[in-house]
Amino acid sequence: MPDDLDDEAGVLTPDTAPDTVFERFLDEGALAFQRCTACAHAVFPPRVLCPACGDPRLEWQRSDGEGVVYSITTLAPRGQEPYAVALVDVAEGFRLMTNVVADGDVAIGDPVRADFSAGVTPAGPFFVPEEQK
Ligand SMILES: [Zn+2]
């Protein structure tokens, strides 16, 4: 393998691996996703190729963190507080699994937004209902 290969665009290194870049955005308090420059598909979770068209030219973008609950359920592990796990359709066009932290019930179709103060996992920030401050 030539030494200069690491300098070429698109070559993966530990620093440019999609998960690593995503974690750097999370550390900055940003929910990031990728946008395919060939077909405009929103790519999440992070990947090296567009799942819609196979193109490797994926551009990082920051989400505004606005979304709508697609599906939600409450898990009640023995000996632990119940918590809500949801699939959220984010406005930029991708869906992620997250925890929704709410004072009351949250239903399918409810508007939610990312809230890093509510909690963060390696997969992304928790969400809260839009009206909850
Ligand atoms: Zn694509």
Task: Give the chain's domains with CATH numbers.
Answer: 3-62 (no CATH), 66-129 (2.40.50)
Predicted local distance difference test score (pLDDT) of residue 86: 97
The rounded average pLDDT for each run of 10 residues, N- to C-terminus, in the chain (133 residues) is: 47 88 96 98 97 97 98 95 95 97 94 95 94 67
How far, in Å, is the centroid of ligand 1 from the Cα of 58? 8
Predicted local distance difference test score (pLDDT) of residue 133: 54
Residue 116 burial (C-beta neighbours within 10 Å; 0-12, 13-18, 19+): middle
How far, in Å, is the centroid of ligand 1 from the Cα of 88? 22
Phi, psi angle pair for 70, to nearest 5°: -90, -40
Predicted local distance difference test score (pLDDT) of residue 30: 97
Neighbours of 59 (CB within 10 A): 10
Predicted local distance difference test score (pLDDT) of residue 78: 96
How far, in Å, is the centroid of ligand 1 from the Cα of 42? 8
How far, in Å, is the centroid of ligand 1 from the Cα of 36? 5
How far, in Å, is the centroid of ligand 1 from the Cα of 93? 13
